[in-house]
Chain A
Amino acid sequence: MVDPLTPVLTKRWTEPRSWTMETYERTGGYTALPKALKAHPDQLIQQCKDSGLRGRGGAGFPTGMKWGFIPQGDGKPHYLVINADEGEPGTCKDIPTMMADPHSLIEGVIITSYAIRANFAAIYVRGEVLHCIRRLNAAVREAYAKGYLGKDILGSGFDLDLVVHAGAGAYICGEETALLDSLEGRRGQPRLKPPFPATSGLYASPTVVNNVETIASVPFIVNGGADWFREMGRDRSPGPKIYSLSGHVTRPGQYEAPMGTTLRQLLDMAGGMKDGIPLKFWTPGGSSTPLFTAEHLDVPLDFEGAAEAGSMLGTTALQIFNETVSVPWAVMKWTEFYKHESCGKCTPCREGTYWLVQILQRMVAGNGTASDIDTLLDVCDNILGRSFCALGDGAVSPITSGIKYFKDEFLALCDQNSKVLAGANA
Chain B
Amino acid sequence: MRAKRKQKLFVILGLVTLAAIAVGLTLYALRSNINLFFSPVQIAGGEAPVERQIRAGGMVKEGSVARDPDSLDVEFVVTDYVEDVSVRYSGILPDLFREGQGVVVVGRLQPEGWLRADQVLAKHDENYMPPEVAQALEEAGYSPEDYQAQAAEVAERLDAED
A and B are partners in one complex rather than unrelated chains:
no
